[in-house]
Amino acid sequence: MADEKNAPTKADDAAASVPSDLEGHVDAQGRYPLLSVQHLSKEFPVDSGVFASKMSKRVSAVDDISFDIFPGETFGLVGESGCGKSTTGRCIMRLTNPTGGKVFFNGENVADMKKKDLKSMRHDMQFIFQDPYASLNPRMTIGEIISEPLIIHGEMTDKKERLDFVRELLDEVGLNPEHINRYPHEFSGGQRQRVGIARAFALRPKLIICDEPVSALDVSIQAQVLNLLSGLQEQYGTAYLFIAHDLSVVQHISNRVAVMYLGNLMELSDWKTLYAQPYHPYTQSLLSAVPVPDPDVQRSRKRIILAGDPPSPIDPPTGCRFHTRCPIAKEICSKERPELKEVAPGHFCACHFAAPFPIKESSINL
């Protein structure tokens, strides 16, 4: 793995007109974000249908989260299953309508977009789904699957030109172009995910939301797919929102990483700082499970096992949502929700007792 992850430095020309909501949202190079998520929330009613009560309980899947993604950057979003990562990705793309907050893509508010505008937006924002078996239509050949975005958006109307382009894409993602007329069931899981990646890159989007794209694959295949995504990003300058539950996977591809728990962001920083010096006890506990290649270091590490299970999002804890499992929680944690504040340059943490390696009875050598 390379020590430095250099993202492209050219800002998108289409984002020259920046709304007031993005003022101050700039990186060290003075660029405005390609994607800006501001106070995003999403609730789902527990009961639905004719007999559902207006006072029905609601599941708070995403609760007031904010982050920016800049052109060419890979932003990792990590957390346990059920913490709201995938819901965040779907709300960003308007596959699910958010309950509150704003999402700006390329300087435009996604929530205000009409159907025609959404179609245009999705030309530049694509999705790679988690399950390579369920995300491909079994009745279509892989050539038809990859061609579909081009047909929907009216690109390459000449069939021969379109099929030649699809063959080039298949070659780029490591598949045999001669297999263009085969069906998904004739491929392995890793090969199917490559088809999904080729489909996402067919329109040369500016941003791709990768919803756990390697979690359903064998470990030996995961590295190949991650290397493929890194290579395509270097070639086309595409930005990624990379959603995962495994910190070791995100480490190899991300510029910055945000840790999510029960609908809230707990910590956000560049990947090196986050892995070398976590400020939140939840991040520290997750990192304690990440394997390291040095056997001596691995033996000397102490795994931090959190007590209990994550609380139900139907009835989340008051104050800090992590306090019911936190080894260092105090009375204030159950009463006041900590803000996501900057604890070091570019490093944000939502904890009343934020400090490097806050769980002092163990250490993590990275």
Is pLDDT above 50 for 5? no
d(CA 136, CA 87): 20
Residue 133 has, within 13 A of its CA and on its CB side, a CA count of 5
- Asked whether 225 and 194 are in contact (CB, 8 A), the reply is yes
- Asked whether 206 and 12 are in contact (CB, 8 A), the reply is yes
Is pLDDT above 70 for 28? yes
The pLDDT value given to residue 299: 52
Give the residues across from 125 on adjacent strands. 207
Give the residues across from 102 on adjacent strands. 38
pLDDT single digits (tens) 81-127: 889 999 999 999 999 999 999 999 998 999 889 888 999 999 999 99
Helix (H/G/I), strand (E/B), else coil: 102: strand
CA dihedral 83→84→86→88, nearest 10 degrees, is -150
Inter-CA distances, 182 with 136, 138, 147, Å: 12, 10, 14
Q: Exposed/middle/buried for 345, CB within 10 Å: 0-12, 13-18, 19+?
A: exposed
Q: Looking at residues 198-218, what average pLDDT do you find? A: 92
| Residues 6 or more apart whose Cβ sits within 8 Å of residue 345 | none
The pLDDT value given to residue 49: 57
d(CA 246, CA 212): 9
The pLDDT value given to residue 51: 57
Inter-CA distances, 225 with 72, 190, 252, Å: 18, 8, 12
Q: Exposed/middle/buried for 206, CB within 10 Å: 0-12, 13-18, 19+?
A: buried
Give the residues across from 105 on adjacent strands. 35, 108
- Name the residue ranges covered by the structural domains of the chain: 270-366
Inter-CA distances, 7 with 25, 66, 75, 267, Å: 17, 21, 11, 22
Q: Exposed/middle/buried for 330, CB within 10 Å: 0-12, 13-18, 19+?
A: exposed
More confident residue, 194 or 28: 194
pLDDT single digits (tens) 303-346: 788 887 888 888 889 999 999 999 999 999 999 999 999 999 99
Mean pLDDT of the chain: 86
pLDDT single digits (tens) 119-153: 999 999 999 998 888 999 999 999 999 999 999 99
| pTM metric for this prediction | 0.87
The pLDDT value given to residue 53: 56
DSSP string spanning 41-68?
EEEEESS-STT--TT--EEEEEEEEEEE
- Asked whether 196 and 132 are in contact (CB, 8 A), the reply is yes
CA dihedral 124→259→20→339, nearest 10 degrees, is 170
Rounded to 10°, the helix 219-236/189-201 angle is: 10
Q: Looking at residues 42-71, what average pLDDT do you find? A: 80
Residue among 183, 161, 164, 181 nearest 172 (CA): 164
The pLDDT value given to residue 88: 95
Residue 110 has, within 13 A of its CA and on its CB side, a CA count of 28
